[in-house]
Chains A and B, each alone.
Chain A
């Protein structure tokens, strides 16, 4: 088995200690850092994606694999120019104003990160102005807003409006989610998409960015 195959296997088995050791060994051996990502770490993660879809792996196992992948990427990242770093896209995400619930949002973050997206997580209780500021600063392709409460979900519309006002609406796709959210509500406030769960949210981002 080549080192690439071994690294992919280590990612699949979620062994983050092993990922660290082998990645470091490959760097020391002078292997191209981009190849380590594409043929080792990402290759393993792609298998994980397929197995998850087929129902052979469950989310906690996917999380362990993603952690193994990140452990490796952290080591090679300093060796690669920013513009060359492979990324599925950049997503800015937050739980809306007045809402402290972030379990669902965290799941979305973890799922997206494991699918290769770069995530900027603003946290909880995020008002429209902070979302706008985040868009200006990070220039994401997608904004994700989360709410668990029927009272706080109304603030999603305010963020959409605030982005329009700043002339930023067309620079990003907006997706929303959370227990009380429906496709109807997404249409009503002018969001680009709604996903009922974390796996679908990841698919949705891929589709919107493509």
Chain B
């Protein structure tokens, strides 16, 4: 499979040439073989040693390029995530694009009081409900870091809230292997057993190296557990260009790719053929403020490289969209998040997270989420390209209307206009009608929509039996940590 994403009709987008992808691949293999990785995990080091990797001083592992090749051959080229009802929801393959939120923001920008404050369980439940109702949000992550539960219970409580407030698939963060085990239990409880969950995964788990070139124990625990249980996973470096990865886009790709491939090798050694989603991110360090920032043009280009490498490897791709550095949902928020969303879609990144992220991921905004839903809607229309079948060419209609005529009264218009994009949130009124409706800005209308969704939308509930299974897992974990 060549690099580049083919969308609808003739629409095609590519960032790297095949030759560039190969150059990056070879450079990453050189790093893996000559510099290697620090892997703080006995089982993983042993798996690698037995497979032919060179191990020095217990943790320093040098990967022969043949190991990488073998892992790339055994990993599947497509991964499917299912919804809570067992229906295939996300086909992560080719140029399909799906969007979802991010996890664990520290602060909630309350859409009603406009206060920036900590998240509590009710806020996360409401935020997930909103995701459930938005047609262009395809999956959820935990959105907010819970301030009102025991710290070691956060990921479990978040999962319980997610799975009970939306049927959509999830991407989860787990503090450690034990947390992931409990999340698997809850998900299995929701879909009717572990075997069913294995066949039809409801969630994927996010695992990551600590850049540069280190694999912490907890991450590898989760990576191996995911491989064993066939829970789809990634091994996604969250690079900070200029600090944890090189400042050049290509250098950042070389290192992050090496890290992702090293994760893939371990994953495939543990369980050949288990589902793996390739991808990682880059939040370049701003050299004035020392902030790792989102969605700079370089970070967006970087993602184009990631996706083309995924195509080069024939693996599904993981990435970012709809996120920004703004502190409130202002013009900067929309500029940055929209650019990432549109470009990510054109790049053909299969699963993009962090929609609704503000302030480099420290804060979440539901207004940005609702506005992004509309941006994604516009973008999805773009991806269909230009249909040039006979009916779309409209020659007969042009002849019928003729010079000086009007297409408004022609049947061709009536028949086809509905296929065009229509807004839900954008205002297309005249000035007079807009002011009569209260002179509302896009953000005002987003807040109205949030209010409306919270008042009217009722997510499909789980059965009492499922609820009891989830509660049992939570109860046992709380007891373990002495939490109430």
- Alpha-carbon distance A81/B462, docked complex (angstroms): 74
Known: A151-B151, A180-B106. A199 touches B240 (CB 8 A): no
Contacts of A199 in B (CB 8 A): 289-290
Tell me the minimal C-beta distance from B289 to chain A in angstroms. Answer: 6
Tell me the minimal C-beta distance from B452 to chain A in angstroms. Answer: 33
- B151 and A150: CB pair below 8 A? yes
- B175 and A151: CB pair below 8 A? yes
Asked if A103 is at the interface (CB within 8 A of a chain B CB), the reply is: yes
| Complex interface: stretch among A12-20, A55-63, A139-147, A167-175 | A55-63
Contacts of B442 in A (CB 8 A): none
- A198 and B154: CB pair below 8 A? no
- Alpha-carbon distance A59/B284, docked complex (angstroms): 13
Contacts of A154 in B (CB 8 A): 151
Of all chain B residues, which has the CB nearest A198? B290
Asked if B229 is at the interface (CB within 8 A of a chain A CB), the reply is: no
User: Looking at chain A, what size class is its interface with the partner chain?
Assistant: 10 to 19
- A59 and B152: CB pair below 8 A? no
Contacts of A198 in B (CB 8 A): 290
- Alpha-carbon distance A10/B240, docked complex (angstroms): 30
- B288 and A100: CB pair below 8 A? no
- A197 and B106: CB pair below 8 A? no
Q: How many A-B residue pairs have CB under 8 A?
A: 42
Tell me the minimal C-beta distance from A102 to chain B in angstroms. Answer: 9
Instruction: Give the contacting residue for B243; candidates A55, A58, A107, A151; CB below 8 A.
Output: A107
Contacts of A106 in B (CB 8 A): 243
Contacts of B152 in A (CB 8 A): 151
Of all chain B residues, which has the CB nearest A153? B151
- A179 and B242: CB pair below 8 A? no
Of all chain A residues, which has the CB nearest B362? A179
Q: How many residues of B contact A (CB 8 A)?
A: 24
Known: A100-B210, A103-B240, A150-B145. A58 touches B151 (CB 8 A): no
Tell me the minimal C-beta distance from A38 to chain B in angstroms. Answer: 28
Contacts of B285 in A (CB 8 A): 59
- A197 and B242: CB pair below 8 A? no
Task: Tell me the A112-159 residues at the B interface (CB within 8 Å).
Answer: 150-151, 154
- Alpha-carbon distance A150/B150, docked complex (angstroms): 11
Asked if A101 is at the interface (CB within 8 A of a chain B CB), the reply is: yes
Asked if B76 is at the interface (CB within 8 A of a chain A CB), the reply is: no
Asked if B216 is at the interface (CB within 8 A of a chain A CB), the reply is: yes
16 A–B contacts, CB within 8 A, in A order: A58-B287, A58-B288, A59-B290, A60-B287, A100-B40, A100-B210, A101-B210, A103-B240, A107-B243, A150-B145, A150-B151, A151-B151, A179-B106, A179-B362, A197-B289, A197-B291
For the complex with contacts A107-B243, A180-B106, 4 further pairs of A-B residues with Cβ separation under 8 Å are A58-B287, A59-B285, A100-B216, A180-B145
- Rank and list the top 10 A-B pairs by shortest CB-CB distance, nearest first: A58-B287, A103-B243, A197-B290, A198-B290, A59-B287, A103-B244, A100-B210, A100-B216, A107-B290, A151-B151
